[in-house]
A and B are shown apart, each in its own frame.
Chain A
Amino acid sequence: MTQMKETIMTNSMGSPPTNVGAAVSLENLVRTFGKVRALDGLSLKIEPGEFMALLGPSGCGKTTALRVLAGFELLDSGRVVVDGVDLSDVSARKRDMGMVFQSYSLFPNMNALNNVAFGLRMRKQSSSVRRKKAGELLEMVGLSDQGNKYPHQMSGGQQQRIALARALAIEPRVLLLDEPLSALDAIVRAELRDQIRSLQQRLAITTVFVTHDQEEVLSMADRVCVMSKGHIEQVASPSELYSRPATAFVAQFVGISSRVPVDASNHEVVVFGQRCPVRSGEGSDLSGAVDALLRPEDIAIEVDPEGQGFVTRKSFLGAMTRLVVQVGEIPVRVDVRSDKASEIDLGTHVRPSIVSRDVLIATRKETVASEAAVPK
C-alpha cells in the first residue's frame, strides 16, 4: 500500500508531486440565476490537505459553489484562487480538479480500466503508463478484478469507487465530491464513506465535499461549512458545529433541536422552571421573548405523575430511544437510554429538566424550513 501511495503521489514524469494538497480560497463569490442569488458573497479558505464539507439544505448554494470551483459555472463576481493563482477565468479542463458526481458518471462505452485511464489519455500519457496507473488505482479502491467490466455490469457502489479512482488518476490539486454517496444504499454508503476518508487522509489531497447528509459530514470532514441562502452560517469542526452552533440555523440544521419559547434577561433564561445561563455567541445578547434551542441530550426526564409533560412518541434508535414529550403546546425531543425508555409508556407524565451547562437562544421569529411541525 505504501508503494501505491508513492505511485499516486508521484506524477507521470517521476518528479515529486506539486499538485497535492493545494490551498483553496473562494473570495466573495456571487452567482445569480435570474432573480435568485445562489451565491451571495461567499468567502471561504480551505487549507492544503483539508477535507472541507459544504453542508446545507437544498438551494443553499453548496453545489453551485462546488461547480464554480470546478469551473462549470461562471461567476458574476469574486475569485477562485488555488495556491495563489486566480483560476476564475481558467476552463474546467485546465484546473486539474478531479470530480466525483452525484449521478453515475462513468462513460458507458468504456470499461472500468479505460474509464480510470481516460484523464491520463487526455494528458497524452503513453498506453503502458495509462494501463499501469489505472491498474494501481483500481487496486487502491479494491476493484482490481473489475477492470474489464462495463458500468452497466457494476453495482452503484462499484461505479462510484471507479469514479473516485478516475478522479484520483489525474493527481488532482483538489478533489471535488458532489454528493457521491446519495444514490447508494446505507451499507455501501458507510463503506464508501470510510474508504473516501481513508484515501483522502493517505493522499493528503485537498477535498471539498458537498452533501446534505449530516451523518456523512460529521463523520468525514475536518471542517464543515454550513450554508444557507448563498452565504456561510458557520465554518467549524464537526464537534464544534454540533456542540457550539453559532446561529439558530446551524443549531437546527445540524443535529436535532427543539425550540422552546422562553424569556431572556441578563444573559439568563428560565426553561422548564430552571434558570440557565445563555450560551455565548450570536443572539446571546437578546432579551425578552426568545426561543431556547435544546438538543435531545440537553434534556433529562423523570417520571412524575405531576410532571408538566407527557410522552407522545417513542423512536427506537439502538442504544438510545428518542421520546417526544409534549410540554404545553411545545413538542420537545429527549434522548433516553433504551433500557430506561422501555419502562416509559406513551402518555406517561414526566418532568423535564436541563442538563447542559448553558442554553443557546434565538429570536422567536426565526424558523428553519426543514424543521417540520411534527418533531422527528
Chain B
Amino acid sequence: MAPLSAGSVFEVSEIQNEPVPAFSSGSTKRRRHFRIWRLVVLVLAGAYFLIPLYAGIKFSLQNSAGHFSLQAYDKLPSAPGFSAALTLSLKIAVATMVVSTLLMVPTAIYVHVRLPQLRRVLDVVTVLPIVIPPIVLIVGVLGAYPLWAKSSPYLLSFMYVILAMPFVYRSLDAGLGAIDLKTLTEASRSLGGNWLKTMWRVVLPNIRPALLSATVLTLALVFGEYTMASLDLWQTIPVWIVQFSISSDGNIQVAASMLGLVGTWILLVAVVSLDRSQSRRTRRRMLG
C-alpha cells in the first residue's frame, strides 16, 4: 500500500481502488473457534446464574413430601409479619429513591456543567460505599446518631442513599454523558430559561432512561439489604425472610425471595417498556 503523504488525491484514489483481500481459510477457522468459545462462555455464565434460580424456584414449589405444590406462595401473604415487612420496605424504598434523586441528580448535573474536573473525584467518592462494608457504616451511624433519629425507620433510607450512590451516580453519569449537556443548558439559558426550568424541561426529559435505571437499582438494593436493617432492628423484607426461616420450614421464605427477585425483574422490564412505549406514543402523537 502506498504511504499517505501530503494528502494527494491520487494516492487516496489508489488506496480506495486496492482490491479487498479475500479471507483466508486460517481466518475462517479463527472465526469459527471464536464463535464456539463465545457460546461456551454464554452457556457457563447462563448456568451460573440460572441453576441457583432454578433450584430456588423448584424448592419453593415443593411441599414437605417433595411433591409439586403452590402451598408456599399461597401461605406467603398471610405469613406473620410479611405484610408489615413489605410495607416497611416499600416506604423505605420510596424515601430512598426520593432522597437519592434529589441529592444525586443536581449534583451530577452541576459537576457535568460547572465542575467537570471533579468528575474523577466524584467517581472515586461514589465507589467508597462498595469498599466500606455496610456493617462498618451502620455501627458508626448507630453510635453517632441521637435516639430520636434511630427510632425512625427512615434513618435507613439515608444510609441506603449512600449504599445506592455507586449505582445511581454511574447511571446518571452515563445518561448525562450521552447528551451535550453544556450546549443544551446554555441554549436554554440564552432563550430565557432559569436553572429550574432548564433542569425540568431540558435536562431531566433527556436523561429519563438513566433516571429510571437509577431508581430501579435503588429499589432492588433496598429490597435486598439485610445487614443495616437487621442491626438497626427494623424488620424489612430481607430481615423477615431470615427471621421467619428460623421459626418455619424454608419453602415460604424461599418463595418470598423468588417473588422479590422476579418482582424486581418485572418492575425493571415494566419501567423500561413503559419508557419506550411512552416515547413512541409521544412521537406518534406529534407526528400524527
Known A-B contacts A122-B197, A170-B191; A72 and B286 likewise in contact (beta carbons under 8 Å): no
Q: Does B91 touch A at the CB level, under 8 Å? A: no
Are B192 and A170 neighbours in the complex by a CB distance under 8 Å?
yes
B186 touches A148 (CB 8 A): no
Nearest B residue to A111 via CB reads B286
Chain B hits for A119, CB < 8 A: 191-192
Cα of A104 to Cα of B287 in the assembled complex, Å:
21
Chain A nearest CB: distance from B288 CB in Å? 8
Other-chain contact of A93, B183, B192, B206, B287 (Cβ < 8 Å): B192
Find residues 100-128 in chain A having any chain B CB closer than 8 Å to their own CB: 101, 103-105, 107-109, 111, 118-119, 122-123
Task: Enumerate chain A residues within 8 angstroms of B186, measured Cβ to Cβ.
Answer: 70, 72, 92, 99, 101, 105
Interface pair B179/A99, CB less than 8 Å apart: no
Q: Which of B189, B192, B194 has the most CB of A within 10 A?
A: B192
The interface bits of chain A over 161-183 (1 if a CB of B lies within 8 angstroms of the residue's CB, else 0) are: 00100110010000010000000
Given known A-B contacts A109-B205, A148-B287, A374-B6, A103 and B183 have beta carbons under 8 A apart:
yes
A61 within 8 A of B: no
Is B187 touching A101 in the complex (CB atoms < 8 A)? yes
Q: Say if the beta carbon of A350 comes within 8 Å of chain B.
A: no
Q: Which of B190, B205, B286 contacts A97 (CB 8 A)?
A: B190
Q: How far is the CA of A73 from the CA of B193 in the complex (A)?
A: 17
Given the known interface contacts A92-B189, A170-B191, the answer about A107 and B206 at a Cβ–Cβ threshold of 8 Å is: yes
User: Does A272 belong to the interface (CB within 8 Å)?
Assistant: no
Contact between chains at A103 and B192 (CB < 8 Å): no
Interchain CA distance A23-B6 in the complex, whole Å: 46
Q: A93 with B286: in contact, given A103-B183, A105-B183, A374-B6 (CB under 8 Å)? A: no
Residue of B nearest to A123 (CB): B192
Q: Contact at B194–A93, with CB atoms within 8 Å?
A: yes
> Are A101 and B191 in touch, CB under 8 angstroms?
no
Minimal beta-carbon separation of A279 from chain B (angstroms): 33
Contact between chains at A99 and B192 (CB < 8 Å):
no
Task: Tell me how many residues of A have a C-beta within 8 Å of chain B.
Answer: 32
**Other-chain residue from B189, B197, B206 in contact with A109 (beta carbon distance below 8 A):** B206
Please state if B202 and A150 are interface contacts (CB–CB under 8 Å): no
User: Which residues does chain B contribute within 8 Å of A111, judged by CB atoms?
Assistant: 286
A150 and B184: CB pair below 8 A? no
A167 proximity list for chain B (CB < 8 A): 190-191
Q: Which residues of A contact B193 (CB under 8 A)?
A: 93, 118, 122
B18 within 8 A of A: no
Q: How far is the CB of B14 from chain A (nearest CB, A)?
A: 19
**Which chain A residue lies CB-closest to B287?**
A148
Q: Are B190 and A148 closer than 8 Å at their CB atoms? A: no
Chain B residues 176-227 with CB under 8 Å of chain A are 179-180, 183-184, 186-194, 197, 201-202, 205-206
What is the CA–CA distance of A99 and B182 in the complex, to the nearest angstrom?
14
Report which residue of B184, B187, B190, B193 has the largest number of chain A beta carbons within 10 angstroms of its beta carbon.
B190
A202 near B: Cβ within 8 Å?
no
CB distance from B27 to the nearest CB of A (A): 36
- The reply to whether A108 and B189 contact each other, CB–CB distance below 8 Å, is no
Residue A275 is within 8 A (CB to CB) of chain B in the complex: no
- Nearest-CB residue, chain A, relative to B183: A105
A149 contacts B by Cβ under 8 Å: yes
Quick check: B286 and A108 within 8 Å, CB to CB?
no
| Residue B283 at the chain A interface, CB threshold 8 Å | yes
Quick check: B179 and A108 within 8 Å, CB to CB? yes
Q: Check A107/B190 contact, CB under 8 A, given A148-B287, A150-B283.
A: no
Cβ contact of B206, chosen from A94, A105, A108, cutoff 8 A:
A108
Return the CB mask of A80-107 against B: 1 if under 8 Å, else 0: 0000000000011111011101011101
**Shortest distance between the CB of B276 and any CB in chain A (Å):** 14
Within the complex, what minimum Cβ distance (angstroms) separates B160 from chain A? 30
A107 touches B194 (CB 8 A): no
Contacts of A123 in B (CB 8 A): 192
Query: Could you tell me if A105 and B180 are in contact, using CB atoms closer than 8 angstroms?
Result: yes
Q: Which residue of the partner chain B has the closest CB to A112?
A: B286
CB-CB < 8 A to A150: which residues of B? 283, 286
Of residues 261 through 288 on chain B, the ones whose CB sits less than 8 Å from some CB of chain A are: 283, 286-287
C-alpha gap A98/B192 in the complex (Å): 10
Minimum CB–CB distance for B225 against chain A, Å: 34
Q: Contacts A101-B183, A105-B184, A122-B197: A93 and B283 contacting too (C-beta < 8 A)?
A: no
Known contacts: A148-B286, A148-B287. The answer to whether A105 contacts B191 by CB under 8 A is: no
Q: Which residue from chain A places its CB closest to the CB of B202 in the assembled complex?
A: A107
Q: State which of A91, A103, A122 has its C-beta within 8 Å of the C-beta of B191.
A: A122
The answer to whether A105 and B189 touch across the interface, beta carbons within 8 angstroms, is no
Q: Are B184 and A93 in contact (CB under 8 A)?
A: no
Beyond A101-B183, A118-B191, A122-B192, 14 extra complex contacts between A and B, CB < 8 Å: A70-B190, A71-B189, A93-B192, A93-B194, A97-B190, A98-B190, A98-B191, A103-B183, A105-B183, A118-B193, A122-B193, A148-B287, A149-B287, A374-B6
A-B contact list, 26 entries, CB within 8 Å: A71-B189, A71-B190, A72-B189, A91-B189, A93-B189, A93-B190, A93-B193, A94-B192, A98-B190, A99-B186, A101-B183, A101-B187, A105-B187, A108-B179, A108-B206, A109-B202, A109-B206, A111-B286, A118-B188, A118-B191, A118-B201, A122-B188, A122-B192, A148-B287, A167-B190, A176-B190
